[in-house]
Amino acid sequence: MGLTYKDFQEDFKRLYQARPDLIINTLSNIFTMRLIGNKTHGDMAEIGIAEFIDQFMYDYDCKHVGKDLFRAKEHEEDIVVIDKATNTEIPISLKAYGDGPLQLSTDKEAKMFPELLKYGEDIKDPETILEIFRSEAFAGLSHVNVMPLIYKESAMECNIMVFDFDAVVQNTRRILYVPEKKKYDFDSKGLKDYKGRKFPIYVFIDEYGKYICEVRYGDAEANALQRGLWTHTVNASSYFNSLTDGWISYEHNDTLVQLLRLALNACEKGHEDACAILQKNIDFIIDK
């Protein structure tokens, strides 16, 4: 039997604990891409983390498949990690989000919200909640492997936080419908006015009345930001496993920006020479 995503997480965390400098360096380079464009770092994160796994996690290979037009993806993956011992493939969706709302699944077929509507507006029965999680609309969540790179740009901090889907099933005690222009209030454990919401959501709540996650409006008219399964990295922090043992500081690498400027104007021979130099440098980093 091959390794699972949770096994991979533990291996990643052990590497971080042994050599924090490796991931801090890579994350610094990834978030330097925000100096080029606000969305550039997301695509670079997919490439950078895939290469990080290839270079530094010896029990794994990793392929970047996020933009592969000729591959029929079964999951919402951007990279595929391969356990070398068994050739087991672990698809992973990489997210580079600011600290706050985080999309966990796009629910492209818009099944989740309509499924919840079948059960009413305030769902508390434990058996009913389990029935919802076992339904076709929600069954796929157990196969969603999301690896979010969460950042606080003003503080220049990052945290690789993985949401625990199993904990959602184990801890959800209430699923509450929240209409447009309303929000769930943690103190009163009820609803209050909120002008910022244009579409309804369902909020998943634990036994202490705390927020776990939410399913957003799933109509055909809804865009990607208005549908699917979401959580909040601040409000649901206890439902995340940090692979970096919390927040770590990163730095911008201005030289990397200059390197990219030159690379985009150099020929392939120059790129070959640069690759050889960079690989030699990575080998030096590993051995130091």
Domain assignment present for residue 119? The answer is: yes
Overall domain count for the chain: 1
Query: What mean pLDDT comes out for the span 123-136?
Result: 95
260: its two tokens: 């990219």
Domain assignment present for residue 189? The answer is: yes
Domain assignment present for residue 279? The answer is: no
Contact call for residues 191 and 178 (beta carbons, < 8 A):
yes
What digits encode the pLDDT tens for the residues 239-288?
A: 999 999 999 999 999 999 999 999 999 999 999 999 999 999 999 999 87
Domain assignment present for residue 44? The answer is: yes
User: Which residues, 6+ apart, have CB-to-CB distance to 145 below 8 Å?
Assistant: 5, 75, 77, 90, 91, 92, 93
List, as own/partner pairs, every contact residues 281-286 make where C-beta atoms lie below 8 angstroms and the sequence separation is at least 24, other chains included: 282/55, 285/21, 285/22, 285/25, 286/55, 286/56
CA angle 119, 204, 165 (to 5 degrees): 110
Contact call for residues 151 and 165 (beta carbons, < 8 A):
no
What digits encode the pLDDT tens for the residues 27-44?
A: 999 999 999 987 788 889
Range of the domain at 111: 5-252
Sign of CA dihedral 99, 172, 79, 111: negative
Confidence of residue 237 (pLDDT cuts 50, 70, 90): very high
124: its two tokens: 């508390």
Domain assignment present for residue 213? The answer is: yes
Give the separation between CA 92 and CA 115, rounded to whole angstroms: 26
Domain assignment present for residue 281? The answer is: no
Domain assignment present for residue 278? The answer is: no
Q: Could you write out the three-class secondary structure of 144-210?
A: CCEEEEEEECCCCEEEEEEECHHHHHHHCCEEEEECCCEEEECCCCEEEECCCCCCCEEEEECCCCC
Residue 106: per-residue pLDDT: 84
- What b/e sequence results for 162-185 when a residue is b if at least 16 CB atoms lie within 10 Å of its CB, and e otherwise? bbbbebbbebbbbbbbbeeebbbe
Domain assignment present for residue 148? The answer is: yes
**Does residue 110 carry a pLDDT above 90?**
no
